[in-house]
Amino acid sequence: MKMTAGMRLLTVLLLVTLLVLAGGCTELSPGGIGGGEGGEEEGSSEGEEEGGLPVGGEGSDSLSISPGEAYSFLEVNSGNASVVLIDVRTPGEYSAGHLDGAVNIDSVSFADRMGDLDTNATYLLYCQGGVRSADVRSQMTEAGYPAVYDIEGGIAAWEAEDLPVVQE
Instruction: Give the contacts of 92 (CB within 8 A, at least 6 positions apart).
Output: none
**Domain ranges in the chain?**
5-160
Instruction: Give the contacts of 125 (CB within 8 A, at least 6 positions apart).
Output: 86, 88, 133, 136, 137, 140, 148, 149, 150, 151
User: By C-alpha distance, which of 35, 62, 81, 87 is closest to 137?
Assistant: 62
Whole-prediction pTM: 0.68
**Res. 159 pLDDT band, cuts 50 70 90:** very high
**Res. 15 pLDDT band, cuts 50 70 90:** very low
In a 3-state reduction of DSSP, which class is residue 9?
helix
**Res. 147 pLDDT band, cuts 50 70 90:** very high
| pLDDT confidence of residue 51 | 55
From residue 72, give the alpha-carbon distance in Å to each of 18, 22, 24, 79: 15, 20, 18, 14
Backbone angles phi, psi at 42, to 5 degrees: -60, 130
> How, if at all, do strands 83-87 and 148-151 pair?
unpaired
The amino acid that residue 98 corresponds to is: H
Query: In whole angstroms, how large is the CA radius of gyration of the chain?
Result: 15
CA dihedral 31, 34, 40, 43 (to 10 degrees): 120
Fold of the CATH domain 5-160: Oxidized Rhodanese; domain 1 (3.40.250)
| pLDDT confidence of residue 67 | 97
pLDDT of 45 higher than 60: no
In a 3-state reduction of DSSP, which class is residue 122?
strand
pLDDT of 31 higher than 60: no
The amino acid that residue 60 corresponds to is: S
